């Protein structure tokens, strides 16, 4: 009986956190009622922002996966100490606040930034859709690199050795052995990275600004609506949550499939 | 499955225990509060008041050494939302009448008093300053930053542009690269050289000597009236009154004036 009771205590303690995490999300839906969602869909800021969010996050995800996968592979192959040092450095964008990321982006690619004139003929990359993508890549790539490199490390290294002894080229090893084996980890990393990009707010606001149809992504549209009408902000928030949840679900299903038949 | 009812029961038990603990701690807290303790005066103020209120706060603290003065600066519209959703404050100073009137209508604040005025200024980044010297040159800039129409500085800018006529307004709007959430954000974008031109408050322009200022004729420049009010649920109404009196006093008004705010007696030409 006492042992059972202890188990319940553990459950209850854990449950309290779960309740805390779910309650605000629930409030978002409960407090708005169905007409709130409809009003949200009709809000003039929604469609341009939704389109822009989908376009920019797909672009940033593409960049992150295309460049991040080889990077993660090199990190996983490198010597333990150097690899881990570089990996730790690459995690920095994760732990610095988004506002700091925004300032860093301005100092690097802004008009008076180190690379300003080089990156953009007009002298600044700020205030462009490209700036939105750059901010998203900066904050979201580390999540992908992290899970991709650990997926590559978890692989059975004997398989690589066997492939090498059979004379497989590095390309062949990467594409035919490593990639298929690490796919679930890569997909998980892509999902995490994508959701971080979708939610990106601070660095985008500072580096890319806020202009409808050009740099105003969903989180910025929510903040804009919040200035006048919390109800509208709430309705757009629900749309963002639904979009994020649907895509997360899709990735989970895909990962389940990949795990079953590797 | 059959574990569930007892799990729920234990959860409820725990919740009850937590509630009891919370109530208990609340009680002891109230008992231990002694009147000799420092009182905390919370002032919610528009972001454009940041520097000047901080300066005024120093004088106020000297006169009231036992008072802990805490400022919370943000956009007027954001502060209003926070108060509507239960934030506790003693005084609210807004950068426009609209948000204050809404709060007064809903019974959140006592009758507001206008304590100062501000106006708009066009700031120009130094490198572009030679090409942009008058208001008529502004549409030739390639990157203009304004406030969104929902924040006071953006609303005043909209008024100014409407006054300037349709052609001028569309000319400017074609060059807007970002709509920011506060005058300070607009100023920061111009200071960093990202934007060439920004529409901000006159007081912001004065705080950035490295930027050039394009004058706006007084008869076109909207008057930004700043109201101040004490909250109805203010925990320290007497202290709140002391702060409002200080802001309206000669000393307070002269600090505002030296920061570039337009004194009340100097009626603005477009004003009533």
Dump pLDDT digits (tens) for A53-62.
999 999 999 9
Q: Are residues A134 and A210 in the same domain?
A: yes
Q: For an interface test with B, give the residue of A4, A106, A227, A233 to mutate (most B CBs within 10 A).
A: A227
What is the pLDDT confidence band of residue A43, given thresholds at 50, 70 and 90?
Answer: confident
Q: Are residues A14 and A55 in the same domain?
A: no
Per-residue pLDDT tens digits for A118-131: 655 555 678 899 99
Q: Are residues A26 and A48 in the same domain?
A: no
Q: Are residues A117 and A215 in the same domain?
A: yes
The residue with greater pLDDT, A148 or A111, is A148
Average pLDDT over residues A126-151: 93
Contacts of A219 in chain B (CB under 8 A): none
Contact criterion met (CB below 8 Å) for B201 and B256: no
Above 90 in pLDDT, residue B12?
A: no
Above 70 in pLDDT, residue A28?
A: yes
What is the pLDDT confidence band of residue A258, given thresholds at 50, 70 and 90?
Answer: low
Q: DSSP string spanning A43-68?
A: STTHHHHHHHHHHHHHHHHHHHHHHH
Per-residue pLDDT tens digits for B125-146: 998 999 999 999 999 998 999 9
Element (H, E) at A119: helix A116-119
Q: Are residues A20 and A68 in the same domain?
A: no
Q: CA B191 to CA B37: how far, in whole Å?
A: 43
Q: CA B196 to CA A95: how far, in whole Å?
A: 32
- For residue A46, what are the CA distances in angstroms to A236, B81, B141? 7, 21, 29
Contacts of B142 in chain A (CB under 8 A): 122
Cβ contact B6–A8 (<8 Å): yes
Contacts of A16 in chain B (CB under 8 A): 14
Q: CA B90 to CA B240: how far, in whole Å?
A: 6
Strands (E), A103-256: none
| pLDDT of B43 | 97
Cβ contact B195–A11 (<8 Å): no
* Three-class secondary structure of residue B122 per DSSP: strand
- What is the pLDDT of chain B when averaged over all its residues? 85
User: Is A250 inside a domain boundary?
Assistant: yes
User: Is A36 inside a domain boundary?
Assistant: no
- For residue B216, what are the CA distances in angstroms to B69, B123, B164? 36, 11, 11
The number of folded domains in chain A is 2
User: Is A210 inside a domain boundary?
Assistant: yes
Token pair for A200:
């990106």
Contacts of A9 in chain B (CB under 8 A): 10
Above 70 in pLDDT, residue B31?
A: no
Nearest to B53 by CA among B272, B260, B191, B256: B256
Per-residue DSSP letter, A174: I
Above 80 in pLDDT, residue B257?
A: yes
Cβ contact A215–B11 (<8 Å): no
Buried b (16+ CB within 10 A) or exposed e, A3-17: eeeeebeeebeebee
Cβ contact A228–B176 (<8 Å): no
Q: For an interface test with A, give the residue of B83, B194, B195 to mutate (most A CBs within 10 A).
A: B194
Contacts of A15 in chain B (CB under 8 A): 11
CB nearest B77 (choices: A124, A212, A227): A227
Q: Are residues A23 and A128 in the same domain?
A: no
Computed from CA positions of residues A39, A45, A47, A51, in that sequence, does the dihedral angle turn out positive or negative?
negative
| pLDDT of A155 | 86
Q: CA B117 to CA B162: how far, in whole Å?
A: 21
Above 50 in pLDDT, residue A219?
A: yes
CATH code of A226's domain: 1.10.3720.10
Contact criterion met (CB below 8 Å) for A236 and A221: yes
Contacts of B151 in chain A (CB under 8 A): 227
User: Is A247 inside a domain boundary?
Assistant: yes
Contact criterion met (CB below 8 Å) for A39 and A235: yes
Contacts of B145 in chain A (CB under 8 A): 209
Nearest to A217 by CA among A75, A104, A8, A59: A59
Q: Are residues A131 and A237 in the same domain?
A: yes
Above 80 in pLDDT, residue A116?
A: no
Q: Would you call A228 an interface residue with chain B, using a CB distance cutoff of 8 Å?
A: yes
Q: Are residues A256 and A127 in the same domain?
A: yes
Q: Would you call A130 an interface residue with chain B, using a CB distance cutoff of 8 Å?
A: no
CA distance A214 to chain B (A): 9
Per-residue DSSP letter, B109: B
Cβ contact A12–B11 (<8 Å): yes
Contacts of A209 in chain B (CB under 8 A): 145, 177-180, 189
* Three-class secondary structure of residue A226 per DSSP: helix
Cβ contact B148–A227 (<8 Å): yes
Computed from CA positions of residues A70, A76, A78, A84, in that sequence, does the dihedral angle turn out positive or negative?
positive
User: Is A37 inside a domain boundary?
Assistant: no
Q: CA B237 to CA A184: how far, in whole Å?
A: 61
The domains located in chain B, with CATH, are 39-117+225-258 (3.40.190.10), 120-214 (3.40.190.10)
Query: Which A residues in the span 10-29 are in contact with B, Cβ-Cβ below 8 Å?
Result: 11-12, 15-16
Phi, psi values for residue B107, rounded to 5°: 80, 20
Q: CA B228 to CA B226: how far, in whole Å?
A: 7
Lowest-confidence range among A178-192, A225-239, B87-101? Answer: A225-239
Contact criterion met (CB below 8 Å) for B48 and B19: no
Q: CA A235 to CA A46: how far, in whole Å?
A: 9
Q: Are residues A19 and A100 in the same domain?
A: no
Model-level ipTM above the cut of 0.85 = no
Q: Are residues A153 and A175 in the same domain?
A: yes
Residue A187 is part of which domain span? 43-260
| pLDDT of A123 | 58
Residues 6+ apart with CB under 8 A from B89: B42, B43, B44, B72, B83, B231, B234
Strand B176-180 vs strand B144-147: parallel, antiparallel, or unpaired? parallel
Above 90 in pLDDT, residue A4?
A: no
Token pair for A18:
């779960």
Outline where A200-229 has alpha helix (H). 202-207, 218-226
User: Is A35 inside a domain boundary?
Assistant: no
Chain A's closest residue to B192, CA to CA, is A112
Q: Are residues A139 and A251 in the same domain?
A: yes
User: Is A209 inside a domain boundary?
Assistant: yes
Contacts of B211 in chain A (CB under 8 A): none
| pLDDT of B46 | 93
Nearest to B83 by CA among B43, B25, B125: B43
pLDDT cut 70: percent of chain B above it = 84
Q: CA B164 to CA B222: how far, in whole Å?
A: 11
CB nearest B143 (choices: A127, A210, A226): A127
Q: For an interface test with A, give the residue of B149, B178, B210 to mutate (most A CBs within 10 A).
A: B178
User: Is A204 inside a domain boundary?
Assistant: yes
Contact criterion met (CB below 8 Å) for B246 and B60: yes
* Three-class secondary structure of residue B94 per DSSP: coil
Contact criterion met (CB below 8 Å) for B268 and B224: no
Q: Are residues A189 and A242 in the same domain?
A: yes
């Amino acid at each position: 009986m006492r042992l059972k009771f202890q188990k319940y205590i553990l459950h209850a303690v854990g449950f309290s956190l779960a309740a805390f995490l779910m309650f605000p999300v629930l409030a978002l839906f409960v407090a708005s009622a169905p007409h709130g969602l409809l009003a949200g869909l009709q809000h003039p800021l929604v469609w341009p922002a939704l389109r822009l969010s989908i376009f920019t996050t797909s672009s940033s995800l593409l960049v992150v996966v295309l460049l991040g996968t080889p990077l993660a592979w090199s990190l996983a192959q490198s010597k333990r100490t150097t690899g881990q040092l570089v990996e730790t450095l690459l995690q920095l964008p994760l732990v610095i606040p988004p506002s700091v990321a925004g300032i860093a982006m301005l100092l690097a690619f802004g008009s008076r930034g180190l690379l300003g004139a080089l990156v953009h003929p007009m002298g600044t990359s700020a205030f462009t859709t490209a700036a939105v993508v750059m901010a998203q890549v900066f904050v979201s790539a580390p999540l992908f690199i992290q899970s991709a490199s650990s997926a590559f490390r978890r692989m059975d290294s004997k398989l690589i050795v066997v492939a090498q002894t059979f004379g497989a080229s590095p390309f062949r090893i990467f594409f035919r052995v490593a990639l298929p084996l690490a796919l679930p980890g890569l997909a998980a990393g892509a999902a995490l990275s994508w959701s971080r990009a979708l939610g990106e707010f601070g660095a985008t606001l500072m580096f890319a600004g806020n202009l409808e149809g050009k740099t105003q992504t969903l989180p910025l549209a929510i903040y804009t609506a919040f200035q006048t009408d919390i109800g509208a902000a709430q309705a757009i928030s629900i749309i963002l949550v639904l979009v994020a949840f649907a895509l997360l679900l899709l990735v989970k299903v895909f990962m389940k499939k990949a795990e079953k038949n590797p | 499955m059959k574990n569930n009812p007892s799990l729920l029961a234990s959860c409820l038990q725990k919740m009850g225990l937590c509630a009891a603990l919370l109530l208990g701690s609340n009680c002891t807290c109230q008992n231990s509060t002694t009147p000799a303790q420092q009182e905390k005066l919370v002032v919610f103020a528009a972001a454009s008041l940041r520097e000047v209120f901080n300066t005024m706060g120093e004088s106020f603290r000297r006169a009231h050494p036992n008072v802990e003065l805490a400022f919370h600066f943000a956009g007027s519209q954001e502060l209003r939302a926070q108060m509507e959703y239960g934030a506790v404050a003693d005084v609210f100073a807004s950068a426009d009448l609209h948000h204050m009137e809404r709060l007064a209508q809903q019974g959140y604040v006592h009758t507001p008093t206008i304590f100062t005025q501000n106006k708009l200024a066009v700031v120009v980044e130094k490198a572009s300053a030679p090409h942009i010297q008058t208001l008529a040159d502004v549409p030739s800039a390639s990157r203009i930053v304004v406030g969104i129409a929902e924040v006071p500085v953006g609303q005043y800018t909209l008024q100014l542009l409407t006054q300037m006529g349709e052609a001028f307004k569309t000319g400017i709007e074609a060059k807007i690269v970002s709509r920011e959430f506060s005058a300070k954000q607009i100023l920061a974008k111009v200071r960093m050289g990202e934007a060439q031109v920004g529409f901000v408050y006159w007081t912001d322009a004065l705080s950035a000597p490295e930027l050039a200022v394009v004058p706006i004729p007084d008869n076109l420049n909207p008057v930004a009236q700043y109201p101040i009010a004490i909250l109805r649920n203010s925990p320290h109404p007497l202290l709140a009154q002391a702060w409002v009196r200080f802001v309206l006093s000669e000393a307070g008004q002269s600090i505002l004036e030296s920061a570039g705010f337009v004194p009340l007696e100097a009626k603005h030409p477009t004003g009533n």
